[in-house]
Amino acid sequence: MNESSNNVTDTITMEDTVRAAETNEGQEITGGSGNGEAEKAEKPLTQGEIIADLEAKLAEAHDNYLRKAADFENYRKRMNQEKITAVEYANQSLLLDLVSVIDDFERAIKSAGTQREAAGSDTEQIASSYSSLYEGISMIEKSLVSQLENKWGLKRFDSAGEAFDPNRHEAIMMEKSAELEEPVVAEEFIKGYTLKERVIRPAKVKVVMPEK
Q: Identify whether the C-beta of residue 167 lies closer than 8 Å to the C-beta of residue 199.
A: yes
Q: Kind and range of the H or E element at 50?
A: helix 47-88
What does the domain layout of the chain look like in residue ranges? 69-152, 154-212
Closest CA to 161 of 203, 124, 130, 129: 203
Q: Identify whether the C-beta of residue 107 lies closer than 8 Å to the C-beta of residue 143.
A: no
Q: How far apart, in Å, are the Cα atoms of 189 and each of 44, 79, 117, 175, 192?
A: 94, 45, 35, 15, 10
pLDDT above 70 covers a percentage of the chain that reads: 80
pTM over 0.85: no
List pLDDT tens digits, range 113-166.
888 777 777 788 878 878 888 888 999 999 999 999 999 999 999 999 999 999
- Comparing 13-27, 32-46, 120-134, the range with the smallest average pLDDT is 13-27
- How is domain 154-212 classified at the CATH fold level? Nucleotide Exchange Factor Grpe; Chain A, domain 2 (2.30.22)
Report d(CA 12, CA 1) in Å as an integer.
17
**pLDDT confidence band for 1 (50 / 70 / 90):** very low
Closest CA to 154 of 162, 146, 142: 146
Q: Is the dihedral of CA 7, 13, 15, 17 positive or negative?
A: negative
Q: How far apart, in Å, are the Cα atoms of 83 and each of 72, 93, 133?
A: 16, 17, 44
- Comparing 45-49, 75-79, 100-104, the range with the smallest average pLDDT is 45-49
Q: What is the DSSP letter of 45?
A: P
Residue 42 has pLDDT above 60, yes or no: yes
Q: How far apart, in Å, are the Cα atoms of 117 and each of 111, 121, 145?
A: 10, 9, 31
